[in-house]
């Protein structure tokens, strides 16, 4: 299985080593059983950009730290469009040869920088957590219910310890009664066809 991660830094508020975070995403995805090649993108954007996405897709005001946009996998029709008359030259022979398109993770470094001191600790730790958090959303995990949140947080801790570094416990504040904006944003999730926070 080959994993290809496209990472782009489309903001200038805080430095981002896009290649570093693409490698983290590749390492994490390398552990998952995807059944073939996989592709995804990780975009780092400014606060106005993520606020617009948050409003447009989740109906929430203001910037958030991370959004995940899964791509619903539909069976790929074999053959040429519109007649399905064969694959044509240079085309994969069928859906099994096509990479799994996982979706997009959009991260706002400015929000991550602001949340880091009371959350993951450092700006770098916060970015690592957001990359893994977004990936798990793309893989179908969620945190709407307490048991889902516990499972997702345990997987985040495990993956970060293995591929980045263990994070301090404050990176996962309790869901009950936590008034921090970061915790409130992490408690929001969409359906598989819409973004997850």
Closest CA to 50 of 120, 106, 115, 113: 106
The model's pLDDT over 150-166, given as tens digits with 9 standing for 90+, comes to: 899 999 999 999 999 98
Tally Cβ neighbours within 10 Å of residue 79: 13
- Which residues constitute the domain of residue 30? 3-72+98-186
CATH of the domain at 60: 3.40.390.30
Q: For residue 88, is it within any domain?
A: no
175 in Cβ contact with 183 (< 8 Å)? yes
Any domain includes 195: no
- Domains contained in the chain, number: 1
| Lowest-pLDDT range of 22-26, 83-87, 109-113, 122-126 | 83-87
CA distance 94 to 162: 35
Instruction: Please check whether residue 87 lies inside any domain of the structure.
Output: no
**Stated pTM of the model:** 0.76
Please indicate, yes or no, if residue 9 is contained in any of the structural domains.
Answer: yes
Residue 61 banded pLDDT, cuts 50, 70, 90:
very high
Residue 51 contacts by C-beta under 8 Å, 6 or more apart in sequence?
Answer: 61, 62, 63, 64
Nearest by Cα to 184 from 143, 152, 155: 143
Residue 50 has pLDDT above 90, yes or no: yes
Mean pLDDT of the chain: 79
pLDDT reported for residue 105: 96
DSSP letter, residue 79:
S
Whether 28 shows a pLDDT value over 80: the answer reads yes
In a domain, 60, yes or no: yes
Is 77 part of a structural domain of the chain? Answer: no
Q: Is there a domain that residue 51 lies in?
A: yes
With pLDDT > 90 as the criterion, what percentage of the chain qualifies? 51
Spatial separation of the C-alpha atoms in residues 162 and 132, rounded to whole Å: 12
In this structure, what DSSP letter does residue 177 have?
T
Residues above pLDDT 70, as percent of the chain: 71
Which pLDDT score, from 0 to 100, does residue 174 have?
A: 58
In-domain check, residue 92:
no
Asked if pLDDT for residue 138 goes beyond 60, the answer is: yes
For residue 38, what is the enclosing H or E element?
strand 38-44
Counting every residue, how long is the chain?
A: 197
Q: Taking residues 130-153, what's their average pLDDT?
A: 89
């Amino acid at each position: 299985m080959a994993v290809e991660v496209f990472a782009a830094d489309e903001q200038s508020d805080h430095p981002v080593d896009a290649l570093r975070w693409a490698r983290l995403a590749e390492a994490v995805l390398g552990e998952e059983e995807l059944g073939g090649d996989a592709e995804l993108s990780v975009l780092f954007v400014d606060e106005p950009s993520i606020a617009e996405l948050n409003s447009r897709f989740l109906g929430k005001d203001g910037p958030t730290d991370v959004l995940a946009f899964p791509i619903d996998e539909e069976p790929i029709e074999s053959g040429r469009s519109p007649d399905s008359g064969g694959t044509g030259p240079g085309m994969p022979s069928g859906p099994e040869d096509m990479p799994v398109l996982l979706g997009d993770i959009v991260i706002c470094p400015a929000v991550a920088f602001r949340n880091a001191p009371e959350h993951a600790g450092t700006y770098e730790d916060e970015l690592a957590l957001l990359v893994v958090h977004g990936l798990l959303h793309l893989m179908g995990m969620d945190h709407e219910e307490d048991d889902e949140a516990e499972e997702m947080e345990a997987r985040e801790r495990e993956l970060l310890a293995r591929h980045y570094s263990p994070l301090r416990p404050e990176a996962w504040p309790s869901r009950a009664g936590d008034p921090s904006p970061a915790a409130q944003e992490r408690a929001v999730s969409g359906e598989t066809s819409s973004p997850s926070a």
